[in-house]
């Protein structure tokens, strides 16, 4: 029989065992998630499903790829920061064909993609960088299996800027209803660094993204290239705001055939065209609808809409304010686009223009007629076909801008 002294010694030993510190998550064979409140660096291809939570900050170090068959879920309020590098080392989040990104924020808790140079902290929504700080990292790329119009017989394209011969650079296919996930209340900030020389990527790049994908309530704030670019596909997008891009606001290519409903483009001195629309590159044709859009041209002499390379589509209820006095036009920039306009493959309806002094609506609709001695294009006014233009802007046209109250652009007084 144990004595009282031995019994007390046994109790003390047991207590000491229970008092030992628990194993760290790094040593935990169960794979439980790491503790909240930390920063986690992400690199390379994700080969299993992951969930990124709002209590932590996630750092993109180089190209981080959501591989085929993998789903990345990002919780409302999560902040993702990207390391600043360029060329092949540039940071970006790329969703490959067959991968899924479910990033569903809320108006109160948006999901924010930004730079490591941004001092924003967990639980905050306002950045410490400004509109002039574009080009800190790559951007968000989603690649799908929906049809795209390319020259290749395969019907597939390879995204510029991604090094050649990587499986995850391909986009396009035959699955019109392809589902790459869902994005809602996502703000993409200070992006657009070049992955290769002269090959910057957009704030949001959509290559062959199908109609099974949901994209609503998106902000692109300060991008060195385009705000958003559609390379074919037919995904529908609702409520998108682009502010302070240094190339085009909304860029449409390769027979994109979805609907963009309720958008706003706010130009700065560094911006390119508000809208740039290219036609198909292959035999497949497609026609998009862009409707309920407000463009604040900022008073700068920038193209309002550049239709090129046999563009086709429908542009409805577009309101443009603060139009510059010189060169701020809607251009049919090649003979194929002009023919498509004549044949009803490009349509305009219910445009309202806040005209600069001395200009008429007709003055702002032009077509190319040739080039001058410096190889610069010569445009002339298109006559007799301006029935779509309305020179009265009474505040009822264009986008419902109240839905953008959650954005950084609104917080900084851009509109």
Residues 279-299 have pLDDT tens digits of 999 999 999 999 999 999 999
Q: Radius of gyration of the chain from Cα atoms?
A: 25
- Contact indicator for 324, 294 with CB cutoff of 8 Å: no
- Contact indicator for 94, 141 with CB cutoff of 8 Å: yes
Summarize pLDDT for 239-254 with one digit per residue, the tens.
999 999 999 999 999 9
What beta strand segments (E) does 254-357 contain?
Answer: 259-266, 275-278, 288-296, 305-308, 313-321, 330-332, 346-349, 351-353
Q: At 370, is the pLDDT very low, low, confident or very high (cuts 50, 70, 90)?
A: confident
Give residues with Cβ within 8 angstroms of 210, minimum separation 6. 144, 145, 146, 175, 176, 177, 178, 179, 180, 233, 234, 235
d(CA 52, CA 42): 11
Position 318 pLDDT exceeds 50:
yes
Please provide the DSSP assignment of 84-126 as one string: ---GGG--EEEE-TT-EEEEE--SSS-EEEEETT----TT---
Lowest mean pLDDT among 118-132, 187-201, 233-247: 187-201
Q: What is the DSSP letter of 31?
A: -
- Contact indicator for 78, 101 with CB cutoff of 8 Å: no
Q: At 27, is the pLDDT very low, low, confident or very high (cuts 50, 70, 90)?
A: very low
- Contact indicator for 161, 194 with CB cutoff of 8 Å: yes
Among residues 29, 39, 57, 223, the alpha carbon closest in space to that of 134 is found at 223
d(CA 338, CA 331): 9
What beta strand segments (E) does 281-345 contain?
Answer: 288-296, 305-308, 313-321, 330-332
Buried/exposed 183-195: b ≥16 CB within 10 Å, e otherwise: bbbbbbbbbbbbb
Burial of 351 (0-12, 13-18, 19+ CB in 10 A): buried
Summarize pLDDT for 89-105 with one digit per residue, the tens.
899 999 999 999 999 99
3-state class (DSSP) for residue 335: helix
Position 176 pLDDT exceeds 50:
yes
pTM for this structure? 0.89
How far apart, in Å, are the Cα atoms of 224 and each of 84, 243, 269? 13, 11, 13
How big is the CA angle at 230 (ends 227 and 232), to the nearest 5 degrees?
A: 170
Which residue's structure tokens are 């396009």? 172
Among residues 262, 267, 275, the alpha carbon closest in space to that of 230 is found at 275
Other C-beta atoms closer than 10 Å to the C-beta of 102 total 16
Among residues 101, 95, 35, the alpha carbon closest in space to that of 74 is found at 101
Average pLDDT rounded to a whole number, residues 333-349: 92
How far apart, in Å, are the Cα atoms of 182 and each of 99, 104, 143, 242? 12, 7, 13, 19
pLDDT for res 378: 83
pLDDT for res 354: 87
Q: At 391, is the pLDDT very low, low, confident or very high (cuts 50, 70, 90)?
A: low
How far apart, in Å, are the Cα atoms of 307 and each of 28, 147, 316, 336, 343? 57, 21, 15, 10, 15
d(CA 207, CA 410): 29
Burial of 140 (0-12, 13-18, 19+ CB in 10 A): buried
Q: What is the mean pLDDT of the chain?
A: 88
* SS3 letters across 125-159: CCCCCCCCCCCCECCEEEECCCCCCCCCCCCCEEC
3-state class (DSSP) for residue 404: helix
pLDDT for res 183: 98
What residues pair up with 50 in beta bridges, in sequence order?
72
pLDDT for res 350: 86
d(CA 330, CA 247): 16
């Amino acid at each position: 029989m144990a004595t009282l002294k031995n019994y007390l010694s046994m109790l003390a030993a047991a207590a000491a065992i229970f008092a030992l510190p628990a194993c760290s998550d790094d040593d935990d064979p169960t794979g439980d998630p790491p503790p909240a409140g930390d920063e986690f660096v992400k690199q390379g291809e994700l080969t299993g499903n992951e969930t990124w939570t709002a209590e932590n900050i996630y750092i993109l170090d180089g190209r981080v790829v959501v591989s085929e068959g993998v789903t990345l879920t990002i919780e409302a309020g999560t902040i993702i920061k990207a390391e600043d590098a360029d060329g092949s080392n540039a940071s970006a989040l790329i969703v490959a064909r067959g991968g899924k990104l479910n990033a569903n924020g809320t108006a109160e808790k948006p999901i924010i993609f930004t730079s490591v140079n941004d001092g924003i902290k967990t639980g905050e929504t306002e950045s410490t960088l400004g509109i002039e700080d574009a080009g800190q990292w790559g951007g968000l790329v989603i690649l799908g299996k929906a049809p795209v119009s390319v020259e290749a017989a395969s019907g597939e394209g390879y995204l510029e800027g991604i090094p050649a011969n990587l499986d995850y650079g391909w986009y396009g296919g035959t699955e019109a209803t392809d589902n790459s996930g869902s994005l809602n209340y996502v703000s993409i900030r200070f992006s657009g660094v070049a992955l290769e020389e002269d090959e910057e990527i957009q704030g949001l790049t959509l290559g062959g993204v199908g109609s099974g994908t949901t994209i609503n309530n998106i902000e692109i704030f300060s991008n060195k290239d385009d705000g958003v670019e559609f390379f074919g596909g037919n995904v529908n997008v609702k409520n998108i705001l682009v502010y302070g891009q240094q190339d085009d606001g909304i860029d449409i290519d390769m027979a994109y055939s979805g609907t963009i409903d309720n958008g706003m483009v706010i130009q700065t001195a560094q911006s390119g065209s508000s809208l740039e629309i290219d036609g198909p590159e292959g035999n497949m044709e497609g026609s998009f609808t862009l409707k309920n859009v407000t463009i604040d041209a900022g008073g700068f002499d920038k193209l309002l809409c550049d239709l090129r390379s046999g563009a086709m589509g429908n542009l409805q209820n577009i309101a443009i304010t603060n139009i510059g006095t010189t060169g701020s036009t809607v251009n049919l920039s090649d003979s194929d686009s002009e023919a498509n306009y004549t044949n009803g493959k490009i349509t305009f309806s219910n445009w309202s223009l806040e005209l600069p002094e001395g200009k008429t609506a007709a003055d702002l609709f032009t077509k190319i007629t040739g080039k001058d001695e410096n190889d610069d294009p010569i445009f002339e006014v298109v006559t007799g076909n301006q029935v779509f233009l309305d020179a009265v802007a009474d505040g009822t046209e264009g986008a419902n801008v109240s839905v953008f109250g959650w954005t950084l652009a609104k917080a900084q007084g851009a509109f």
